[in-house]
Structure 1
Amino acid sequence: MRTEVVGAGGVRIGVRVEGNDSAPAIVFVHGWAQSAKAWELQFADPELRRRFRLVAMDLRGHGSSDVPHGGYDDPTTWAGDLASVLRFAGEPAVVVGWSYGGLVITDYLRVHGTRGLSGIVLVGAITEIGRNHPGGLVGPAMRAALPAALSDDLGVALPALTAFSEGMAAREVPGPLAQALLGTALAVPPSVRGALFRRDVDSADVLAAVDVPTLVLHGADDAVVDPRAGEYAAGKIPGADSRSFHGVGHLPFVEAAEEFNTSLLSFAEQRASADARTER
């Protein structure tokens, strides 16, 4: 089912909802120049659908969400958008952030703390952005794509985004999926693709204050977000668990979908059980 919620500043945020409406929620936050469609293999997983309410948002400027002129450099904007989705999904929820989605979660933490969160899963994620911020280290595929991937000239942007899409995975992915990733990136306006990079964010204190269980998942061969960015987040967040997927790139939820879904299911079930005991 597709619906929408009202995010910060009245912006409409597209949301996909599947699974068990009476169960605890898992909220998925996608990465730069992608959409909720990225989580197709999680929404198709029978156990995740049976045990949880699955909610995936389209970031502002992406997918079916509104494309406002501004707000992309403001942590309170991203925090407000995610807060609206969490209220819709049902709190407390496990929130899963891939790539830039990890920075959106960090923005939420900066403004709201861990209110409404049962647990956090960071997937090939950045938690910082800008020069000399270790939580935002990127890999060769990302460096090679910029700045051309931000251009409004199709002749410049298309080759860069094509190479970037191909560089996301370390394992072969089905052709239709590869084309869908590229098509989704092209559908994001160049102005939005660029706006997301015009930030300078340090998150050391924010990560150190996290007081809910956190799982950090990263492909060992990620060429988009350097695995050291994941290691940094795992080292800053108290008690965080981490797992590296060997031979996997920036798409562990696609390249190693079965392993990824098993890890996510186990983590979310642990959090749901803990929350149920607390409510008694």
Structure 2
Amino acid sequence: MSALKPPARRTARVTTPDGIGIAAEAFGAEPFGTGTRPGIVFIHGFSQSSLCWSRQTTSPLLSDFQMVTYDFRGHGASDKPADPARYKAAELWAGEVDAVIRAFGLERPVLVGWSYAGRIIGDYVATFGTKGISGIVYVDAVTANERRFYGSCNRLMRQMCSPDVTENITATRAFVGRCFANPIPQPLFELMFGVNMLVPHHIRAALFDRVADYDAVNRSLDVPVLVVQGALDEVVAPAMAEHITETVPNARLDLFEGAGHAPFLEAPERFNAALAAFVREVAGKA
């Protein structure tokens, strides 16, 4: 049997409305952005990068879709402005998402947001509404600030904001480990740790102190929403996913038993199958 061909890949440097350069990539057969195949925009989490989605962008289960990943501001290969104000306003994050969608010509894609990206999706909807998207997948996502919605990693995340290099590295290494309920291959751990350390401490601090208050946005959603949650998540408690499901009209919860904060990496086949089914369902309603 011949080996599967890797998906076509296209890179782009997208400029946000406030002038920040964003590193983005598109995966899928050409022509891209024609609207003939459903689109998916993957948004990574706090101190991560688009590389975390590699088990999705290379999956045969998702090869029928046009997929876009990007490093959001301050992360990965994107620009890293030092001014904390560049990470605060909802319209900045919303404009960034919109710029990425427009750069690749996607027509009403599904937004898939991991962890911190729950805030970013909330910012996008609060600014632009839902006319430009066809669905949302929240993955162990953050949309509210109540302490009961969080796990036991807040102290580590605050230490990741420290200018003390030793404290920062130690906390980051521990945090990456706590993202998983089971041991992961060493190369994957090293990749996740490496991209975490690309984010300067002061940028982490600017993101960490931003309040999450998206209940009103979630109540207003009029597109299909799938809530994916690792049952053993130590970063964002399953109570957050339950809250989102109860708040969003007609949302569905998919609980991944035995998985931690990154079910798309710990159980990629199951996650990719669930995502493919959701996107096809959403596309059929469009």
Q: Secondary structure at the residue paired with 1:273?
A: helix
2:140 corresponding residue in structure 1 = 124
Shift of 1:8: 3.0
1:109 corresponding residue in structure 2 = 125
Does structure 1 residue 200 correspond to structure 2 residue 216?
no
2:75 corresponding residue in structure 1 = 62
Does structure 1 residue 180 correspond to structure 2 residue 191?
yes
Question: Hey, what's the Cα distance between the residues in 1 that align with 2:90 and 2:184?
Answer: 33
Q: Secondary structure at the residue paired with 1:9?
A: coil
- 1:1-280 equivalent positions in 2, closer than 5 A: 1-20=10-29, 21=32, 22=34, 23-49=37-63, 51-68=64-81, 69=83, 70-89=85-104, 90-129=106-145, 132=146, 137-140=149-152, 142-275=153-286
Shift of 1:274: 1.8
Which string of whole-angstrom CA distances, capped at 9 and with x for unpartnered residues, describes residues 78-112 of structure 1?
01101111222312100100000111001111111
Q: Secondary structure at the residue paired with 1:244?
A: strand
Shift of 1:181: 0.7
Question: Hey, what's the Cα distance between the residues in 1 that align with 2:12 and 2:190?
Answer: 25
Unaligned runs of 5+ in 1: 276-280
Aligned CA distance change for structure 1 residues 258 and 168 (closer, same or farther; 3 Å): same
Shift of 1:133: 6.8
Read off the aligned partner of 1:79 and give its amino acid letter. A
1:278 corresponding residue in structure 2 = none
- What is the TM-score when the length of structure 1 is the normalising length? 0.93
Aligned CA distance change for structure 1 residues 87 and 183 (closer, same or farther; 3 Å): same
Read off the aligned partner of 1:55 and give its amino acid letter. V
Question: Hey, what's the Cα distance between the residues in 2 that align with 1:203 and 1:145?
Answer: 24
**After alignment, is 64-73 or 155-164 more displaced?**
64-73
Runs of 4+ in 1 over 4 A off after TM superposition: none
Contact persistence 1:6–1:84 (CA under 8 A): yes
Which string of whole-angstrom CA distances, capped at 9 and with x for unpartnered residues, describes residues 114-170 of structure 1?
1211100000100134xx376xx2211x22303211112211101111110110000
Contact persistence 2:61–2:273 (CA under 8 A): no
How much identity, in percent, do the aligned residues show? 38
Question: Hey, what's the Cα distance between the residues in 1 that align with 2:270 and 2:216?
Answer: 31
Question: Hey, what's the Cα distance between the residues in 2 that align with 1:118 and 1:57?
Answer: 19
How large is the Cα RMSD of the aligned pairs?
1.3
Question: Hey, what's the Cα distance between the residues in 2 that align with 1:147 and 1:123?
Answer: 22
Which string of whole-angstrom CA distances, capped at 9 and with x for unpartnered residues, describes residues 4-60 of structure 1?
2111301111111111324221000000000000000001102312x1111011110
2:4 corresponding residue in structure 1 = none
Contact persistence 2:110–2:137 (CA under 8 A): yes
Question: Hey, what's the Cα distance between the residues in 2 that align with 1:48 and 1:200?
Answer: 34
- What is the TM-score when the length of structure 2 is the normalising length? 0.91
Q: Secondary structure at the residue paired with 1:250?
A: coil
The total of aligned residue pairs comes to 269
Higher share in helix:
1
Read off the aligned partner of 1:139 and give its amino acid letter. G
